[in-house]
A and B are shown apart, each in its own frame.
Chain A
């Protein structure tokens, strides 16, 4: 009997447990899943919770409901991964030996990385919305907020779901219009990058969005500290932005256990082969989801596409076959734009988000890089898909792990290359 251990039962870990329990013969392998938390949060809900679009109960379910019965689930903390000894030390002193380890420990916000961010104003006038607590406290704040300077802010890249802060600004604009108090709220979008849209196609297609919604952009802002007393954020080159309400996305980092185990980079993300998802350092360790350092978005859709490929690769590893180098960085994300509309973006390591339709060429019904109502209703329907299909490891018909070019409007050069291949 051999042991496969999965660390983390969030989106990625849960999907791997379901995929592998279907593919393994029970008498050959034991699957053990370790996670300290009992609740599985539906993180896309954290965007809707502050505005009352979702209630608290819409944002989580019990982890055990989504893990297959055949796996052993241990709810406890992890002290250290001893990769050279092929074992995991758990809180309480128990050791788990493994033949294969899957690291799916995710990413967390680290507000302590910026001076003053987790200061006296934390969750009073400085909020995150990347945690359940943060989103809930922000909702309570917004209920009786009388208006003023709202600053939506990104600390540094990479962050989970890179479009979420932009969506937050769009939804805030809508929220305050609905409440009849938009004229009392000034919205600023402060980013360390050179714009809200940084990829050429998206920038040219969507650049007008901020202006239309009266959101003021502050680009190239690298935050040095939060001044709690005077309610302002200050950059390294001494630019200042005043706020009455700061909604920030703090630095994102991998789990501390990665640091304690000496397995991460300086943000505690695990160096991972970006096509096979095998650890760069240990061949019996695989990494999936937000825990990796692969250069694509940290998002549930990415974990879903990775899970299908990683399942095949683990079976190949067991059989001694070469791993498939088939993960292409594919991500597929809804972008809520307010007023019951959304956009859809679909991209990978090589191809930036393009216009077009999805998933069927010539039909859609969803539109890429263009807002409409169908996209928004699809986003709301996605919660059902998340719990009932993705987490259970069911395939979604017509949506493949690798990004497809069909249905996308390609820039001329790529189009020519496509034709050439077709001939």
Chain B
């Protein structure tokens, strides 16, 4: 389905996650963050850019892994993206939701 984010038509899935991470830019991140009730700072973008880099490498992400990354510790990750930081940060980063096989 299509969503209008930052005045652009973007393909997203039923849960509002971008289907193509290459359609992403900072304006889209801000628009999604606003829906999640988050105002993005530079610190948020450092985390978001790290997630995008990891996704490009094909690695699957977990909170523990992000905590070990040196980019952000787990406490701050929860402060930046309260309640379900991984799924919120992933959506803002324009990457797929962390998922199981079904």
Contact = CB atoms under 8 A, between A and B. Distances in A.
A220 B64 contact: no
Contacts of A335: 102
Given A163-B101, A197-B102, A353-B102, A192 B62 contact: yes
Nearest to B63: A222
B58 A162 contact: no
A158 B60 contact: yes
Contact of A294 (B58, B74, B78): B58
A370 to B, nearest CB: 12
Contact of A206 (B14, B67, B68, B102): B102
Contact of A222 (B86, B99, B102): B86
A200 B15 contact: yes
**Residues of A in contact with B, size category:** 35 or more
Q: Is the interface of B mostly helix, strand, loop or mixed?
A: loop
Contact of B101 (A156, A237, A333): A333
A331 B100 CA distance: 13
B64 A156 contact: yes
Contacts of B102: 162-163, 197-199, 202, 206, 335, 345, 353, 369
A294 B59 CA distance: 8
Interface in A116-147: none
Which 3 residue pairs across A and B have the least CB separation, nearest first? A156-B62, A202-B102, A198-B99
17 contacts: A114-B64, A156-B63, A156-B64, A157-B98, A162-B100, A163-B102, A198-B98, A200-B15, A206-B102, A220-B83, A222-B62, A236-B74, A236-B78, A237-B78, A265-B57, A293-B59, A295-B60
Interface of B: 13-15, 57-60, 62-65, 67-68, 74-75, 78, 83-84, 86-87, 97-102
